[in-house]
Amino acid sequence: MQTLFRLGYNEFRPLQEQAIDALCSGQDVLLAAPTGGGKSLVYQAAGLMRKGVAVIISPLLSLMSQQVEALNKKGIQARFLNSTLNPGEQDDLIWALRHNHIDLLYLSPEKLVQPSVIGFLHSFDISLFAIDEAHCISQWGGSFRPEYSQLGQLKADFSDVPLIALTGTVDNKTIGSIQESLQLNDCLVLKNSFDRSNIHLHIAQKRKSKQQILYFLHHEVPGETGIIYCRSRKKTEELSEWLNHLGFSSLSYHAAMTEESKERNHQTFATQHGTIMVATTAYGMGIDVSHVRFVIHLDLPNSPEAYFQEIGRAGRDGKPAKALLLYGLQDMLQAQQLISQQTYVSENERQSLAALFQLLEARGCRRQNVLSHFDEDSDACGHCDRCLSSKSEQNMTIACQKILSLIYHTKGLQSFSVLIGILLGKTNKSTDAANAKSLSVFGKGKELTEAQWKSVIRHLIAYEFISLGQSQVFTVHINEKARDILKSNIQIILPSEHYYPTLNETELEADHIRWHKVLAWKQGQDTFDLSDSQLRLICTHKPKTVASLSRLTGLSKERVSRFADSLIDIIHQEEAEKDNALCP
């Protein structure tokens, strides 16, 4: 327990103590736990308890420096060895290691597999090896980070040193891949529940996505800290700029930024409540900000694992958090197109994207569906969008038969927008070019709206009844399993479509933005004496002095003076900015 207190904790979370005991006895361990599950404590505690230096292999420089800094503040001697060190700093590190002045050493996989580094590690006692973010072995081992696939040599070179592989939300197939790659033939496999019940899931159809985000920010999470994930660097910058223009506090983060800019934005996000980080997946592994209250996906992630890991950035403190994912048929098509354009795509990546599509389109409770993907059974959560909706569903078997027949008769050469236009009986250049009126199903799909037809197509894609061609020209193919639909051997039941509400920029008045900023300010206060009703009064009357603030709230001047300056600055920020703009 002394080591636990030294690391700043009072008690173990599930499986932590079991993993530490196994490592201390010399046994290899594979620990799978969700984001925020306290995996780092395991190798830190076991490393301090065993004789020698704990060597941690981490994929990101920022993650290394973040953990090293946090450990040093606790009086624990942690260092990292990477390309940022100059020769003098490397010499000092080597001296400290050889004289037993270091408890934990962080390395990248690229640095570790260098023969000179392997040789150097043999010159001092090693307590354990920890491979953090071990799912990268499956994701990167074959292409982007090939060094991850070479980490299996550790068991050959250091057979007496226990090794722990740590990973987030992964399925059993990935766990097996990690074991095989690292040669963990007789390891203790500990798999915690991946359920993050404090995160409320909402997945909805995309329509005017910026205005849908605005509604979410204003009505669901006013003044809260959160992350918005986008696919492109350009989109992160444009969306962040738009939010700032509206009065929100927003930053962007993507791989093309300088390390200094990324670190500056991260530190601002981590310390200033109410900040919105608009980021690509570059802002992912190792992000540990406890007060993140929401995650929005404006574009589709690549897999169920990526989705669950990314929403896991929210609610790490165990308090309620919200996750919103917006998508439509076009997003599914773009995601498939991006994969087809890559020079090397593994079958595992294709299957992961297909699994994500099925997760989005599956019936029933969102949380049940996600956990089922990770081989967990659970009851309906009661607070996802599906559990809170009317649960109405429709039999779309005949609709599926109509569109499959139309794909067949148009030889799979017409886009989905043209196919929907034909079913709805629309006459335009595109449908005329397709000889739409000569087709038997022309105008025979008016019982459904355009949005409903898109949901039918999404289902057919997700469950691989149809597939897109891989060439530059758009083509769609009917797969063999679609015969069961055409023969009515199976019924296709789809949940009713629900769009997430929108809020226009013109409806977001200055008073609303002021309220967001006041709530964000409130989140950053250690102790607080004001209710939301009192804060509403303050926003309405805009007091300028301690005395007026005291009269308005009914609190003494002494109590009010503790927070008066910062609160008054916020509620008068807009006027101050206007005055500054008028100054020559």
Query: CA neighbours within 13 Å on the CB side: how many for 571?
Result: 21
Name which of 95, 40, 88, 97 is nearest 66 in CA terms.
Answer: 40
pLDDT for 109 beyond 60: yes
Per-residue pLDDT, 122: 87
Between CA 18 and CA 521 the distance in angstroms is 41
How distant, in Å, are the alpha carbons of 8, 18, 111, 113, 450 from that of 105? 19, 23, 12, 15, 58
Between CA 148 and CA 133 the distance in angstroms is 10
What does the mean pLDDT of the chain come to?
A: 86
Among 60-74, 478-492, 566-580, which stretch is predicted with the lowest mean pLDDT? 566-580
For the chain, report the end-to-end CA distance as a whole number of angstroms: 63
Between CA 573 and CA 249 the distance in angstroms is 13
Per-residue pLDDT, 524: 78
Per-residue pLDDT, 516: 84
DSSP E strands, 255-407? 275-279, 292-297, 321-327, 393-395
551-558 long-range contacts (CB < 8 A, ≥24 apart) are 553/529, 555/529, 555/530
Domain 2-191 -> CATH class? alpha beta
Per-residue pLDDT, 142: 45
Q: Residue 159 phi/psi, 5° resolution? A: -65, -25
Name which of 228, 255, 232, 226 is nearest 240 in CA terms.
Answer: 228
Other beta carbons within 10 angstroms of residue 524's beta carbon come to: 14
Greater model confidence, 382 or 114 = 382
Q: What is the mean pLDDT of residues 540-569?
A: 84
Per-residue pLDDT, 201: 96
How distant, in Å, are the alpha carbons of 14, 134, 399, 481 from that of 222? 33, 36, 41, 47
Confidence of residue 581 (pLDDT cuts 50, 70, 90): very low
- Which of the given ranges, 23-37, 189-203, 544-558, has the highest pLDDT on average? 189-203
Per-residue pLDDT, 578: 52
Q: What is the mean pLDDT of residues 251-268?
A: 91
Q: What is the mean pLDDT of residues 135-145?
A: 57
Confidence of residue 149 (pLDDT cuts 50, 70, 90): low
CATH T-level fold of 393-495: Arc Repressor Mutant, subunit A (1.10.10)
Helix (H, G, I), strand (E, B) or coil at 215: helix
Query: CA neighbours within 13 Å on the CB side: how many for 99?
Result: 7
Confidence of residue 473 (pLDDT cuts 50, 70, 90): confident
Per-residue pLDDT, 144: 47
Name which of 222, 260, 100 is nearest 503 in CA terms.
Answer: 222
Delimit the CATH 3.40.50.300 region(s) of the chain.
Answer: 2-191, 199-388
Per-residue pLDDT, 257: 92
Delimit the CATH 1.10.10.10 region(s) of the chain.
Answer: 393-495
Q: Which two tokens stand for residue 258?
A: 């300088």
Q: What is the mean pLDDT of residues 434-459?
A: 94
Q: What is the mean pLDDT of residues 368-382?
A: 91
Q: Which two tokens stand for residue 129?
A: 């090896």
Q: What is the mean pLDDT of residues 367-378?
A: 91
Residue 40 burial (10 A CB sphere; 0-12, 13-18, 19+): buried
Name which of 200, 224, 276 is nearest 522 in CA terms.
Answer: 224
- Tell me the per-residue pLDDT of 260-304, one tens digit each, with 9 for 90 and over: 898 899 989 999 999 999 999 888 766 778 899 999 999 999 999
Between CA 209 and CA 567 the distance in angstroms is 32
Per-residue pLDDT, 345: 66
Greater model confidence, 75 or 414 = 414
Per-residue pLDDT, 550: 84
Q: What is the mean pLDDT of residues 99-111?
A: 86
- Tell me the per-residue pLDDT of 559-578, one tens digit each, with 9 for 90 and over: 888 888 888 888 887 665 55
Confidence of residue 3 (pLDDT cuts 50, 70, 90): low
Q: What percent of the chain has pLDDT over 90?
A: 45
Per-residue pLDDT, 417: 95
Name which of 188, 135, 183 is nearest 18 in CA terms.
Answer: 188
Q: Which two tokens stand for residue 501?
A: 């509400």
Cβ atoms of residues 63 and 31 within 8 Å: no
pLDDT for 320 beyond 60: yes
Greater model confidence, 450 or 175 = 450
Q: Which two tokens stand for residue 74?
A: 């606790």
How distant, in Å, are the alpha carbons of 408, 438, 478 from that of 403? 9, 16, 10
Q: What is the mean pLDDT of residues 219-246?
A: 94
Among 1-15, 126-140, 413-427, which stretch is predicted with the lowest mean pLDDT? 1-15
Name which of 247, 285, 284, 251 is nearest 267 in CA terms.
Answer: 251
Per-residue pLDDT, 145: 55
Per-residue pLDDT, 396: 96
Between CA 236 and CA 217 the distance in angstroms is 17
Per-residue pLDDT, 488: 94
Q: What percent of the chain has pLDDT over 70?
A: 91
Q: What is the mean pLDDT of residues 392-399?
A: 93
Among 97-106, 214-223, 232-241, 552-561, which stretch is predicted with the lowest mean pLDDT? 552-561
Among 353-357, 467-471, 476-480, which stretch is predicted with the lowest mean pLDDT? 467-471
In sequence order, which residues have a C-beta less than 8 Å from that of residue 200 and are 6 or more positions away?
320, 321, 322, 323, 381, 383, 384
Per-residue pLDDT, 528: 66
Per-residue pLDDT, 90: 80
Domain 199-388 has CATH 3.30.379.10: no
Q: What is the mean pLDDT of residues 306-334?
A: 93
pLDDT for 61 beyond 50: yes
Helix (H, G, I), strand (E, B) or coil at 52: coil
